Structure 1
Amino acid sequence: MSKETPCVAVCMIDPKTKLCFGCGRTLPEIARWHAMDSAERLTVMALLPARMDQAGLVPIAASPKRT
């Protein structure tokens, strides 16, 4: 994945917090991601670790590629 995306290809939304278990973004953020400029993406990405921590969510790691 690009350095300008927190996506780990684990797209599941927590019903309580409305945050993605994989990256911590909200559905509106995910939907707008490609329309955001680089500065806006980086701003959102900087908020994600604290957001996940405050919500009590542990990010789900991406699955390793199978060979």
Structure 2
Amino acid sequence: MTDGTPDTAAPNTAIVPSPCISVCKLTADRAYCIGCLRTLEEIRGWKHMDAGQKRALLADLENRQAAAAE
């Protein structure tokens, strides 16, 4: 029976939304997607990552976006 509070004991089973924004175009050097800033390897691997790995990648993407804005 649940009391309505989130289950923090199993964080790797939660659904993590994809960072894809449907702007799927690689940079000229094919280093990453200009829409989501993921590399091809990260895009291909997304479906195989657990929630913890996805959240770690999302944090990396925030850092990439901040670095790109500088």
- Do the two structures share a fold, i.e. TM-score over 0.5? yes
2:34 matched to 1:16?
no
Structure number with bigger Rg: 2
3-state DSSP of counterpart to 1:4:
coil
Paired residue for 2:43, among 30, 53, 58?
Answer: 30
Structure 1: gaps of 5 or more residues = 58-67
State the match for 2:56 in structure 1. 43
Deviations 1:32-58 (CA, angstroms, capped at 9, x unpaired): 11000010001001111221332x36x
State the match for 1:63 in structure 2. none
Using the size of structure 2 for normalisation, the TM-score is: 0.66
- The runs of at least 4 aligned residues of structure 1 exceeding 3 Å deviation read none
Using the size of structure 1 for normalisation, the TM-score is: 0.68
Q: Percent identity?
A: 33
- Equivalent residue pairs, number: 55
